[in-house]
Amino acid sequence: MMRFMLLFSRQGKLRLQKWYLATSDKERKKMVRELMQVVLARKPKMCSFLEWRDLKVVYKRYASLYFCCAIEGQDNELITLELIHRYVELLDKYFGSVCELDIIFNFEKAYFILDEFLMGGDVQDTSKKSVLKAIEQADLLQEDESPRSVLEEMGLA
Amino acid sequence: MRGLAVFISDIRNCKSKEAEIKRINKELANIRSKFKGDKALDGYSKKKYVCKLLFIFLLGHDIDFGHMEAVNLLSSNRYTEKQIGYLFISVLVNSNSELIRLINNAIKNDLASRNPTFMGLALHCIASVGSREMAEAFAGEIPKVLVAGDTMDSVKQSAALCLLRLYRTSPDLVPMGDWTSRVVHLLNDQHLGVVTAATSLITTLAQKNPEEFKTSVSLAVSRLSRIVTSASTDLQDYTYYFVPAPWLSVKLLRLLQCYPPPDPAVRGRLTECLETILNKAQEPPKSKKVQHSNAKNAVLFEAISLIIHHDSEPNLLVRACNQLGQFLQHRETNLRYLALESMCTLASSEFSHEAVKTHIETVINALKTERDVSVRQRAVDLLYAMCDRSNAPQIVAEMLSYLETADYSIREEIVLKVAILAEKYAVDYTWYVDTILNLIRIAGDYVSEEVWYRVIQIVINRDDVQGCAAKTVFEALQAPACHENLVKVGGYILGEFGNLIAGDPRSSPLIQFHLLHSKFHLCSVPTRALLLSTYIKFVNLFPEVKPTIQDVLRSDSQLRNADVELQQRAVEYLRLSTVASTDILATVLEEMPPFPERESSILAKLKKKKGPSTVTDLEDTKRDRSVDVNGGPEPAPASTSAVSTPSPSADLLGLGAAPPAPAGPPPSSGGSGLLVDVFSDSASVVAPLAPGSEDNFARFVCKNNGVLFENQLLQIGLKSEFRQNLGRMFIFYGNKTSTQFLNFTPTLICSDDLQPNLNLQTKPVDPTVEGGAQVQQVVNIECVSDFTEAPVLNIQFRYGGTFQNVSVQLPITLNKFFQPTEMASQDFFQRWKQLSNPQQEVQNIFKAKHPMDTEVTKAKIIGFGSALLEEVDPNPANFVGAGIIHTKTTQIGCLLRLEPNLQAQMYRLTLRTSKEAVSQRLCELLSAQF
């Protein structure tokens, strides 16, 4: 089971965090700080896995963003690495060649996509199509609503 | 949401941290006023502000409001508003009970809505928060959603994982029932997404309830078989870079690891699958993309894990090993890392251990050439795992040489591993001592106390290596700059066994002394203290150097040393050397007795570092193997005591020394016992407590000497004395018959609970007790912390042709470490009041079991160890006492008050101490006395 997933930039700015086990705010901050330091210090050609506390950490860098997952002792490292890749593909497909700014400005979308893909620390569906279909459906719902929202905003509703 | 985008841009444009915080505070104030304002906010604005709060939270700021607004959004009919509400809750809410009830209401509505999108959101929220309250509310509902015939696939997937989350946090709240068998059949579902989600759930459920989910094995095998034999396009979107359903394959293989190898019919099919997976690894890749090889190898590694888990198909194990061997030299660092890791477990299988060993050169090479420390770490682990008697010298040598350049972060662990291997596989103890001294030379700073304590224990326990050890340390100390740990080991060993090399004029007593003393001034206080003890030992060993040593002790730098410990040692040792006769000196400074064998403290330390499971498993399996494979049988521990006659092949680490918790009736109330000390006949079980043992035990609470046990054959007498947290007990075993007792073996057993709190040390007794004779055993006792249970003394011996087995509780009780404290009435009541916390007081009202005699009562309170305070209690009929319980870690003040009621023939006993457990135990012990 995945314990948490972090997205952070090369400058050490956290862009997304998802925790799959109840963890206090204080502990979260401490773990994020510690782990970012460890991962950012690693050189390019190094292996994508490392032991950290009692967990295994799997990370990969895409452009300026690090995707970093903490998994448990018996979990499969390589499949986790590909899980990161699949998530990047999903973001890419949704945003159309995704970049860090997309994730900053549409962080809620990044969350929604992740939630369609993973739940409670396990893969929910690995099919790119199913995941994107779910997201697109949601977007359609949003568009249906939009005109109304605009009207409401203008106080006409 | 334009407002949000503007805000995010603003934040990004901030030039400094201060500007950012200022902007955020402004926004927070704005949102707060909007939320508090009189005008009701519409859904869109609420959504926007909640989203801004979320963003601020993600920047690392604390958010303490907005929860209510987010909860309001949950009941919106608009999807996006609902969605943002749920997102906020899943990211920010931990378990605020007030809110949870409201959230649960919203979730309940959405679950009942039959709108799949809303249901999905609700299930996600449950899975994200996952608190107990949520489990209480929904754990019964979700299984129904999961197995209902009309549930949409996407909802089934969410329901499966949601249930999994609830089961992980609150397994007791998830009711097993009819749904379980229907969940198992989801493995057959048409929709691969459903199967993927369900497999995760089934795996976790099966780990806890293997019987109920047994049928999942054959279903999983057939599903797996269909996947691995499918063409790469069959599974459409579930094929990932030409690998069919890699996630699902990995999960199915993981599920199968919850079970032993299946029945022959299923087993054949599974073996085919595993062979297919291994074969595919040899096929040319279908794509050059790393994703292809990663996904393929993810399945391969999981298959290898299953093969290792089954550990029953030699053919598959060897193939797996060869495959990993190829990966060891792969250009992908990730694969090298995983191959090293996976081989570690393979090394512990008897079928593949030899195959793993053939890769030793590659692994050693990895240690030398890998650029990534985490890979080198794996190489060290593997070398440790593959080590056995045949390759130990090579592996230890390589690890030692690696240690010279090793990363600081892993040095200590390597030191521990080298120390363990050197000890475990030492055929020749000079090699062992050499190795440890090398360790100290190369990485002295990383050699923990446990390591150098251990070398001393081993040298002391083994006559055959002492001379050689003395010679080795003497030579090592010649180096101009020695590590302080070497000085410690050298000082200790020469102090004990320097006489064994004193015949050689090159290492005469005086030379030995000067050599050690040349290091003295560079050492820290503890080492100097140790050296002073060595010097006084020299005075005994070598009368000729006595004047020289006395001069040293007499010098101002010793006698007037600012450090009180050093000064005291110097003064006492000087005095001892002057006043004591040779006989007394020889007795006081006698050679150290052998240490009791127990689990190696080094191994314990490594376990602590690495987590217990990894190390023990490795060790245990390796023990088994060394018997089977290497043909070098390790005899079961001999029936004589492990301490007095250590056989060279017996397990040095004392791993075998403690047999598993004895079967049969538990020796003490605490359940399983752990041998802390000498033992013999490891096959036999510890007898239940002898009848009447409880009564005898109670009699010793207030006294220290007497007969503890007696039957027709054996009498056990005790004499003991206690001071502060230390004690010494003499146990006398009398043979009442005219026939010899053979294999006479007393064992002290401390339960797991007791062991950390009470240290018992003793030497073994002669295994033969002549008819009519009495043997004596001394137990040194140290109270580390307060304790409740009593140790058990188990005695096993042969009398005539019969095996005798007796257990009695040894009356070492907490009150033995009492020091009485006298105090005036005023002080007593002042302290009494200070200890008025309800946890500090324990009271017992009980009926008198003995005649109520004032003098006897007084004697008992004094015997109990506390001071009896006269004229303190306003009622002269009452008794009050005070004292301090001394433990190594702390001192606990205790006050007691006993109020007799002659008419009712009752007592009321009140104990007040600063520690609840202490009050409790003392009250129990003392109540039984009246």
Q: Which CATH superfamily hosts domain B693-812?
A: Gamma-adaptin ear (GAE) domain (2.60.40.1230)
- Indicate whether A96 pLDDT > 80: yes
Chain A hits for B70, CB-CB cut-off 8 Å, are none
The distance of A32 to chain B (nearest Cα, Å) reads: 10
Q: Which of B162, B337, B369 should be substituted to probe chain A, the one whose Cβ sees the most A Cβ atoms within 10 Å? A: B337
Structure tokens at B547: 């004047």
Domain count, chain A: 1
**Pick from A74, A78, A153: CB nearest B298:** A78
Chain A hits for B91, CB-CB cut-off 8 Å, are 111
Instruction: Say yes or no for a CB contact (<8 Å) between B338 and A115.
Output: no
CB within 8 Å of B284: residues ≥ 6 apart: none
**Among chain A residues, CA nearest to B44:** A149
| pTM of structure | 0.66
- Indicate whether A138 pLDDT > 80: no
Instruction: Say yes or no for a CB contact (<8 Å) between B250 and A79.
Output: yes
Instruction: Say yes or no for a CB contact (<8 Å) between A108 and B87.
Output: yes
The distance of B298 to chain A (nearest Cα, Å) reads: 5
User: Which CATH class name applies to B387-589?
Assistant: mainly alpha
Chain A hits for B84, CB-CB cut-off 8 Å, are 108
CB B661 within 8 A of CB B432: no
Taking Cα atoms as reference points, which of B840, B816, B850, B832 lies closest to residue B927? B850
CATH assignment of the domain containing A105: 3.30.450.60
What domain range is A72 assigned to? 2-154
Which secondary structure element, helix H or strand E, spans residue B777, and what is its range?
Answer: strand B774-783
The reply to whether B625 sits in an annotated binding site is no
Instruction: Say yes or no for a CB contact (<8 Å) between A47 and B248.
Output: no
**Among chain B residues, CA nearest to A58:** B334
Instruction: Say yes or no for a CB contact (<8 Å) between B130 and A137.
Output: no
Instruction: Say yes or no for a CB contact (<8 Å) between A16 and B58.
Output: yes
The pLDDT tens digits for B247-290 are 999 999 999 999 999 998 899 999 999 999 999 999 999 899 99
CB B778 within 8 A of CB B666: no
Indicate the domain borders of chain B.
387-589, 693-812, 815-928
The distance of A123 to chain B (nearest Cα, Å) reads: 7
Chain B hits for A43, CB-CB cut-off 8 Å, are 371-372
How many other CB atoms are found less than 10 A from the CB of residue B929? Answer: 20
- Indicate whether A4 pLDDT > 90: yes
Instruction: Report pLDDT for B685.
Output: 62
Chain B hits for A27, CB-CB cut-off 8 Å, are none
CB B696 within 8 A of CB B708: yes
The reply to whether B411 sits in an annotated binding site is no
The reply to whether B125 sits in an annotated binding site is no
Chain A hits for B197, CB-CB cut-off 8 Å, are 119, 122-125
The distance of A142 to chain B (nearest Cα, Å) reads: 6
Distance CA B532, CA B801 (A): 53
Instruction: Say yes or no for a CB contact (<8 Å) between A49 and B51.
Output: no
**Among chain B residues, CA nearest to A59:** B334
Structure tokens at B511: 């030379």
Distance CA B455, CA B477 (A): 16
Instruction: Report pLDDT for B723.
Output: 86
**Pick from A54, A107, A120: CB nearest B55:** A107
**Pick from A124, A130, A152: CB nearest B158:** A124
Q: Which of B9, B20, B294, B309 should be substituted to probe chain A, the one whose Cβ sees the most A Cβ atoms within 10 Å? A: B294
Q: Please name every residue paired with B908 in a beta bridge, in sequence order, or none if there are none.
A: B845, B899
Chain A hits for B54, CB-CB cut-off 8 Å, are 107-108
Cα dist. B896→B189, B322, B491, B849 in Å? 71, 72, 48, 20
Question: Which CATH code fits B815-928?
Answer: 3.30.310.10
**Among chain A residues, CA nearest to B376:** A47
Packing angle, helices A77-95 and A128-153, rounded to 10: 40
Instruction: Report pLDDT for B641.
Output: 33
**Among chain A residues, CA nearest to B93:** A22
Distance CA B639, CA B619 (A): 23
Chain B hits for A123, CB-CB cut-off 8 Å, are 196-197, 200, 247
- The residue whose two tokens read 């002269």 is B876
Average of per-residue pLDDT values in chain A: 87
Looking at residue B348, the DSSP 8-state letter turns out to be T
Cα dist. A86→A55, A126, B301, B712, B723 in Å? 22, 8, 20, 78, 69
CB B154 within 8 A of CB A134: yes
**Pick from B44, B130, B302: CB nearest A22:** B130
The distance of A50 to chain B (nearest Cα, Å) reads: 6
Taking Cα atoms as reference points, which of B412, B443, B407, B439 lies closest to residue B423? B439
User: How would you write B455-504 as a 3-class SS string?
Assistant: HHHHHHHCHHHHHHHHHHHHHHHCCCCCCHHHHHHHHHHHHHHHHHHCCC
**Pick from A14, A108, A153: CB nearest B51:** A108
The distance of A22 to chain B (nearest Cα, Å) reads: 7
Over chain B (930 residues), what is each successive 10-residue block's mean pLDDT? 87 90 92 84 86 89 86 86 90 74 90 88 90 89 89 91 92 87 91 93 92 92 92 80 94 95 92 94 91 95 94 90 92 93 88 89 90 90 92 92 86 89 84 88 84 87 87 90 90 92 90 93 92 93 91 89 91 90 86 76 73 45 37 34 34 36 35 32 58 78 86 88 88 87 88 87 86 87 89 87 85 90 84 81 88 86 87 85 88 89 88 87 88
The pLDDT tens digits for A49-76 are 998 888 999 999 999 999 999 999 899 9
The reply to whether B51 sits in an annotated binding site is yes
Tell me how many helices (H) and strands (E) chain A has: 5, 7
**Among chain A residues, CA nearest to B42:** A152
**Among chain B residues, CA nearest to A129:** B237
Q: Which of B115, B154, B251, B302 should be substituted to probe chain A, the one whose Cβ sees the most A Cβ atoms within 10 Å? A: B154
CB within 8 Å of A49: residues ≥ 6 apart: A56, A57, A58, A77, B334, B337, B338, B374
The pLDDT tens digits for B471-515 are 999 999 998 888 899 999 999 999 999 999 988 899 999 999 999
Instruction: Report pLDDT for B689.
Output: 76
Instruction: Report pLDDT for B384.
Output: 93
Instruction: Report pLDDT for B929.
Output: 87
Q: A143: pLDDT confidence band, cut at 50, 70 and 90?
A: low
The reply to whether B48 sits in an annotated binding site is yes
The reply to whether B34 sits in an annotated binding site is yes
**Pick from A22, A104, A157: CB nearest B94:** A22
A-B C-beta contacts closer than 8 Å:
173
Average of per-residue pLDDT values in chain B: 84
**Pick from A125, A138, A141: CB nearest B196:** A125
The pLDDT tens digits for B54-87 are 999 988 888 888 888 888 898 888 888 889 999 9
Instruction: Say yes or no for a CB contact (<8 Å) between A126 and B238.
Output: yes
Instruction: Report pLDDT for B611.
Output: 57
The reply to whether B573 sits in an annotated binding site is no
Instruction: Say yes or no for a CB contact (<8 Å) between B375 and A47.
Output: yes
Structure tokens at B803: 């095996």
**DSSP H helices in B76-235:** 79-92, 97-112, 116-129, 132-138, 142-147, 153-169, 179-184, 192-208, 216-229
Instruction: Say yes or no for a CB contact (<8 Å) between A79 and B248.
Output: no
Chain B hits for A122, CB-CB cut-off 8 Å, are 161, 164, 197, 200
